[in-house]
Amino acid sequence: MTDDQFREILRRLGLSWEGYRRVRKGVKKRLSEHLARLGCRRVEDYLRLLHEVPSSRREALLLMGVTISRFFRDLRVWDALESRVIPEILASGLREVSVWSAGCGRGEEVYTLKMLWEHLRENRPHLPDLTIRATDRNPENLAAAAMGIYPKSTLREVPALFRERFFSELGKGRVAIVASSLHENILWMVHDLMEDPPPRGGFHLVFLRNSLLTYYGESRAARALPRVLSSLGDGGFLVIGRKESLPSSVESLRGFLPEEGIYRKAWSRGGRTL
Ligand SMILES: C[S@@+](CC[C@H](N)C(=O)[O-])C[C@H]1O[C@@H](n2cnc3c(N)ncnc32)[C@H](O)[C@@H]1O
């Protein structure tokens, strides 16, 4: 499959070439195998199928999902969460902090937040409970996430302290398993950001990293984003990927630490954004 053919498939699915450019080798391989299984000899045949059979689009989108991630991905973001964002959230004296990880992949981001929370609890025994809604379009990713077993390569940014405390090794050290305490209060759920209504929540913190804003074309992402933001409570924080940017149409967010991809939802009163 040539790059031009791949670009055309992306275009038809509303996906972004910029997002897929660096990972295209593996995705093109998966797609070519898929086309062969379907008996599509030419890419044009597949494009026709995508046009005529709605389920083939859903299948393609699942197949093209990119799950690459790692624990403590972009350490600076986690430092900023610990030193700036979480203290701000805690300042309002909540009993429970609720978080949504949207497009959580295989759960590395979710368990990272749990580790950070456990770590903070050491100095603050009265830290509120943390509940996490972790959603992804792909049920296979969620099943893997719930198991909590990872290749060692996903641990390369984990500080030694956390590594020792929260992971044990399996399979002659090739894989690591997360501590059972980290599994508590996480609700893993299939949810498609493009199609499903957003979870009701008034979340205090929403992670939307390396999914919607990377892999979708601008107009599709801009259409889906307001639904995500409607789940964020007033004054709540949104974390996007460090290399991602928000569509210019978004009015309800203020930069909090925009260089780290951290924004805050403005307070609204009487339908007006303040
Ligand atoms: C690269 S992972 C990101 C994991 C984590 N958020 C991170 O930044 O490390 C991207 C995930 O987004 C999910 N995804 C892509 N489109 C989605 C959609 N429309 N709805 C829900 N999840 C989606 C994919 O299934 C994949 O698991």
Q: How far does residue 139's CA lie from ligand 1's centre (Å)?
A: 11
The residue from 13, 32, 63 where one domain ends is: 63
- Ligand 1 binding pocket includes 105 (Cβ within 6 Å): yes
Residue 210, domain extent: 75-273
Q: How far does residue 145's CA lie from ligand 1's centre (Å)?
A: 12
Q: How far does residue 87's CA lie from ligand 1's centre (Å)?
A: 27
Mean pLDDT, range 221-243, rounded to an integer: 95
Residue 249 lies in a domain: yes
Which H or E run includes 140? Answer: helix 139-147
- Ligand 1 binding pocket includes 104 (Cβ within 6 Å): yes
Residue 251 reports pLDDT greater than 90:
no
Q: Into how many domains does the chain fold?
A: 2
Residues 24 and 133 in one domain: no
Residues 172 and 90 in one domain: yes
Angle between helices 24-38 and 54-63 (to 10 degrees): 140
Q: Please, what is the average pLDDT of the chain? A: 94
- Ligand 1 binding pocket includes 112 (Cβ within 6 Å): no
Reported as a single tens digit per residue, the pLDDT across 93-149 is 899 999 999 999 999 999 999 999 999 999 888 899 999 999 999 999 999 999 999
Residue 70 lies in a domain: no
Our separate counts of H helices and E strands in the chain read 12, 12
CA–CA separation, 24 vs 30, rounded Å?
10
Would you place residue 159 in the very low, low, confident or very high pLDDT band (cuts 50, 70, 90)?
A: very high
The residue from 13, 39, 63 where one domain ends is: 63
> By mean pLDDT, which of 58-62, 122-126, 137-141, 238-242 is the weakest?
122-126
Confidence at residue 102, expressed as pLDDT on a 0 to 100 scale: 98
Give the atom of ligand 1 at the shortest distance from the alpha carbon of 68: 1
Residues 142 and 243 in one domain: yes
Would you place residue 270 in the very low, low, confident or very high pLDDT band (cuts 50, 70, 90)?
A: low
Q: How far does residue 272's CA lie from ligand 1's centre (Å)?
A: 31
CA–CA separation, 236 vs 206, rounded Å?
8
Q: Whose CA is nearest to atom 2 of ligand 1?
A: 67
Q: Which residue has the higher pLDDT, 125 or 17?
A: 17
Residue 205 lies in a domain: yes
Residues 109 and 8 in one domain: no
- Ligand 1 binding pocket includes 68 (Cβ within 6 Å): yes
The count of residues in the chain is 274
